[in-house]
Structures are given as C-alpha cells and as structure tokens.
Structure 1
Amino acid sequence: MPLCSHRADTGQKSRKGSKSEFDLGFDRIREALGFKSQVRLAEVLGICQSSISDASRRGVIPGEWALKLYQKHRLNPLWVYDGLPPVFLGQAALGAADTAFAGSASFLLNYPDRSLVYFQMRDASMAPVIPKDSFVGVDTRVRGATPEGLYGVDLPLEGRTVRAVRFAPDQQGVMLHAEDDRVPPQRLSLQEAQVRLVGRVVWVMFST
C-alpha cells in the first residue's frame, strides 16, 4: 500500500438524497467483487482510503480505477459506469447470468488477456485528438506489421505516448507525427519500429 495522509471522511451525501454516480458505481463494484467497505476497495486498487473519500465527494468513479479493475479482475468498465452487462469480460469470468448477454458485450471482449494494455497521456502533444491525462488503450497484437494509424510508442525522452505513424517516403522506415506542430516528426527504422511501437490505439477514455 502507498504512504497515505489520512483524512476523515465527512460522509457528505447528495442534498436531494439521491445516489451519486460514485455511489452507484461503488455499489456495482462491491456487488461484483464481494466486499462491503471503501477500505477494501482501497486495498484492491492499491490506493489510500483518502483517495476514495475524495472521489466520493466529487461524486464520480475515476477512469483510472475502472481500467485497473478491468486489468486486474476483468470487471467491465461499461457495467461500472452504466450498469451495462456483462459484469465481467472474458469467457473465464462470465457466469451463467452473464452468458446470455455475451453477444452484446463491450468491444473489450474482442481482446484476449494481456493483449490490451492502457496508459495515461502525460502531455498534450496529441491534443485535441487525445487530450492530456486521457487514458489510452492499445492492442499489442498490432505493432510493426502495419504501421499506419495511431500507435502507442515508447520514446527515449517522452516515455510512453501516442503518435500518428506513417511509412517514410522511401518505405525504409516510419515517421512519427504529433498533433502539436511544435513537436518535430521523428523517424524510426523498421527495426526500431518493431521495438518501440507498443500497439495500435483502439480506444480513448477522456479524463474528467
């Protein structure tokens, strides 16, 4: 667990007495994973309980939590936010009650375990297409074979980010382009592309 600065939860409720988006999402997470307290949710997410209290006051489940619960427990983000079945994604996690909904499940069902990875954009180089702090999912099965489109890429200085990838005019390498014109294009050899391209971008969750 991380080092935490503890702060008492004020237990604020909606003035209208109705449940917030956080309360509804927390109820779904609690039901799916079988725990009752916010303390247990903090343990599952590996965060401080004060972070749970902060999110409760804001009234929304942070996108990073939903993605972490998907990655660790195959919990469907669409179910967390909107109550859309199935509860879990992936055949190993589908129970009898969920099987009937498998045909209408989230597109995430198309990605086998560990083929879909996500990260958070730490810069605004791809804004407005992908704003800073958005969460990006990439399909690691599609890397250097067809380098045309938006890809997650590991760069020496920038770290993991997103770039529009196109073949170089001589077809002997690829060019990486940012949306921000102030970021110069970068060239990778075909061999470097095989190493640095993480996968094709398949979804973006905008940070709220």
Structure 2
Amino acid sequence: MKPDAFEDAYARIQAATRTRTQTEIAHLLGIKQSSISDAKKKNTIPDGWLITLYRSLGLEPDWVLYGQEPISRRDGFTLGAAVREPLGGYAGAPTKATVYAMRQTDPDTGSWLREALESIPLFDGLKRPNLLVVKMDSAGMEPTIRRDAYVGIDCDDVRMRSGEVYAMDIPGEGLVIKRVIRDLEAKRLTLLADNPAHQAQNLSLEHPGITPVGRAVWIIQEI
C-alpha cells in the first residue's frame, strides 16, 4: 500500500502531538527543523520519526502513514485537539479533509478564493454533506475560537440566524467568521467579535454587501 502524501501524515502527527509549528515538532522528534523541509521535499515520513513517535507516544506507524486505526494501542490515548461536538459517531477510521485559508481574495472582484493549506483527519461525527474546513487566522473570536483553530462550516446553513456564528465572504477581506445579530426594527445586521478588543460592524439588513458561506458547527483547537 502506498503511504499518504507527506502533508496528510504530517497533519496527523500535529493532531496527535498538539503541535502547531515545525519548531515544536522538531523539538519533539529530536531533529533539526531543516529535516522537516527535507522530508517534505522527498514526500515521505522518515523511519526515525515513526520509531520516535511509537516509543514516546505509542503512535502506530500505519496510522501515521495511512490513517489506519488504531491510532495508538496505549490505554486512554486521544487526539490532542479538543472538539466541541457530541462524541457519538467517532468509531470509524478518520478520513482526510482539506483545510482552506481565510484571507485569499480575487484581485479583480475582492471575493474570497479557496486556497488549500493542508489536510487533517476527520471522524464521521464531524462530517456534513456540504462541509468547509478553514483555519482561523485572527483573534477576533477569542476565546470562543482561537487563532489557528480548525473550524467546520456547514455551507447548507446560510439563514443567518441571530446569535449564531457564521462564515461570511466580505469583499476585500476574504472569509470572516463572526457572530451575527439581526435587528429587524433597525433593519440592521451586526457582526460581533467575541473578543471585546474588536469593534462590532453594522451593515444594512436589506443590502449587507456580504455573502453568507455557512454556519460554524464545530471547532478543533487546543484547550
């Protein structure tokens, strides 16, 4: 069986070890940071990494390379990310989901462009028929959604219900995730950031000038 691409295996290592940067992974594996770039160029996970991950964390090489469960045979082992979602439906092996950047825009129209960043393992309980996964690139929704969190967006839910958190395509800004407040009396749509340091944005309810992309339904982030 041919191993998955380096990016996919690397994403699984990050999820299991609670690491975000190459520096953190290099420290964990006891290697130079440049070794990660070399492995990426060769599109392969070195055997030495697999041995270290197995000895230190009990990570099964087949899970790292192919995504095949079990992740680890050690009792009580769980992925390092915290998922705000009911626990049912996690029994099956994870599949890969593409993660997209939020800031990329079309130079002509200013509309958001989907630019793939990486892929992460995703269990059945987190899937949706029309799911979009993005990586949070700002602190505007902290502490609810932290910078670098993975956010699952249900693109079939664009009704913009008051109080819910939505991803919106704002021309010139890219994809923005905010809490939506609908004020029918004032005919105003308010985009709120959970971070009090960020100001609210008021738009016309009838012509807000934005395109709703979907509702945020789950997040994966460090505790």
Q: TM-score, normalised by structure 1?
A: 0.52
State the partner residue of 1:204.
219
Check whether the contact 2:167–2:214 (CA below 8 A) recurs between aligned residues: yes
Distance 1:15 1:62 in 2: 14
Would you say 1:11 and 2:48 are equivalent positions?
yes
Cα RMSD between the aligned structures?
A: 4.1
CA shift, 1:147, in A, is 4.2
Q: Could you list the per-position Cα deviations for residues 160-194 of structure 1 after superposition, in whole angstroms to 9, with x for gaps in the alignment? A: 13111111262523100002222211123335558
Distance 2:195 2:160 in 1: 26
State the partner residue of 2:91.
85
- Distance change (3 Å), C-alpha of 1:123 and 1:88: closer
CA shift, 1:133, in A, is 0.2
- Distance change (3 Å), C-alpha of 1:147 and 1:25: farther
Distance 2:201 2:165 in 1: 14
State the partner residue of 2:142.
127
Match runs of 1:95-106 below 5 Å: 106=124
- Distance change (3 Å), C-alpha of 1:180 and 1:16: closer
Q: More deviation in 182-191 or 21-30?
A: 21-30
Q: Which has the higher helix share?
A: 1
* Structure 1 residue ranges without an equivalent (≥5): 32-59, 64-77, 79-83, 90-104
Would you say 1:107 and 2:147 are equivalent positions?
no
CA shift, 1:27, in A, is 5.3
Q: Which has the higher strand share?
A: 2
Distance 2:199 2:56 in 1: 50
State the partner residue of 2:21.
none
CA shift, 1:5, in A, is 4.6
Distance 1:169 1:142 in 2: 20
What count of residue pairs does the alignment treat as equivalent? Answer: 144
Q: Secondary structure of the residue that 1:85 maps to in structure 2?
A: coil
- Distance change (3 Å), C-alpha of 1:148 and 1:159: same
- Distance change (3 Å), C-alpha of 1:87 and 1:15: closer
AA aligned to 1:181 is P
AA aligned to 1:173 is R
CA shift, 1:198, in A, is 1.3
Q: Which fold has the larger relative contact order, with Cα–Cα distance below 8 Å and residues 6 or more apart in sequence?
A: 2
